């Protein structure tokens, strides 16, 4: 055969057997480059951030649903404050100076009124059980004492009838009317043997009676 030009495929040959343009030119065929690692990392970070945001939103909704009462139900009521007699204590301190305006046959004692907890407590009235004695206080009732604090009160007793007061005060006490946000109560406070001895001595001195 003579002539110039590429050989034509003969019979029985296929086009795919023929060399391609890259083969005839001596160049290697181009290969597709794999996706860059940076692109894959960026997509992974975005997906992870989206999942974290969804989980956080779901947790917030769950928490708010737990703390919110169901529809039609109200929040549980707050516990009631304690009764005043449960948190108030009255204790005897010592004899005190009698006010100058007090009548004859009067004597005074100092007591301490303390409030342990709860709302403030008001002392509405103070009294004692003996018929021949009257009682006043300084400060005068009513007065108020807050929780966690104590207040010194000077109690002045005046003998009105020596015939009816006891010669020997065994277990003298004070009746105190208390009030707070919960209730009003009358509580009897026994002030102990020191107060009983001091009261007995003061009664004898006021009425000029001895221990016979």
pLDDT digit string (tens) for the chain, length 212 residues: 444 555 555 555 454 455 555 545 555 555 555 555 566 666 666 767 776 676 666 565 555 555 565 666 667 788 889 999 999 999 999 999 999 989 999 999 999 999 999 999 999 999 999 889 999 999 999 999 999 999 999 999 999 999 888 878 888 999 999 999 999 999 999 999 999 999 999 999 998 754 43
Contact between 51 and 150 under an 8 Å Cβ cutoff? The reply is no
Q: How far apart are CA 174 and CA 108, in angstroms?
A: 14
C-alpha–C-alpha distance, residues 203 and 191, integer Å: 17
Chain centroid to Cα 111, Å, comes to: 31
Nearest to 164 by CA among 206, 192, 103, 111: 206
The conformation of residue 64, written as its DSSP 8-state character, comes to H
Please give the pLDDT value at position 199: 94
The pLDDT score that the predictor gives to residue 123 is 97
Position 211 scores a pLDDT of 43
141 touches 176 (CB < 8 A): no
pLDDT at 76: 76
d(CA 59, CA 2): 85
Q: Is the peptide bond before 93 cis (omega within 30 degrees of 0)?
A: no
Q: How far is residue 99's CA from residue 139's CA, in Å, rounded to a whole number?
A: 12
In the structure encoding, which two tokens stand for residue 210, read together? 């001895």
* CB 154, CB 137: distance < 8 Å: yes
Handedness of CA 36, 37, 38, 44 (dihedral sign): positive
Note the pTM of the prediction, 2 decimals: 0.62
Closest to 30 measured CA to CA, from 20, 17, 15, 45: 20
Per the CB < 8 A criterion, the answer to whether 116 and 138 are in contact is: no
**Would you tell me how many other CB atoms lie within 10 Å of the CB of residue 68?**
10
């Amino acid at each position: 055969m003579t002539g110039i030009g590429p050989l034509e495929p003969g019979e029985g040959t296929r086009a795919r057997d023929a060399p391609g343009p890259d083969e005839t030119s001596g160049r290697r065929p181009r290969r597709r480059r794999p996706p860059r690692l940076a692109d894959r990392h960026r997509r992974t970070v975005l997906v992870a951030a989206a999942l974290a945001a969804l989980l956080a939103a779901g947790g917030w909704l769950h928490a708010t649903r737990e703390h919110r009462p169901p529809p039609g139900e109200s929040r549980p009521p707050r516990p009631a404050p304690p009764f005043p007699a449960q948190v108030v204590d009255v204790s005897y301190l010592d004899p005190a100076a009698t006010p100058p305006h007090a009548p004859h046959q009067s004597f005074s004692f100092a007591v301490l009124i303390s409030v342990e907890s709860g709302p403030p407590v008001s002392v509405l009235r103070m009294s004692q059980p003996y018929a021949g004695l009257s009682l006043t206080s300084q400060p005068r009732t009513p007065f108020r004492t807050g929780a966690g604090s104590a207040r010194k009160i000077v109690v002045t007793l005046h003998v009105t009838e020596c015939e009816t007061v006891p010669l020997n005060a065994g277990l003298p006490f004070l009746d105190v009317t208390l009030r707070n946000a919960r209730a009003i109560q009358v509580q009897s406070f026994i002030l102990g043997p020191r107060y009983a001895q001091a009261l007995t001595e003061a009664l004898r001195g006021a009425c000029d009676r001895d221990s016979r």
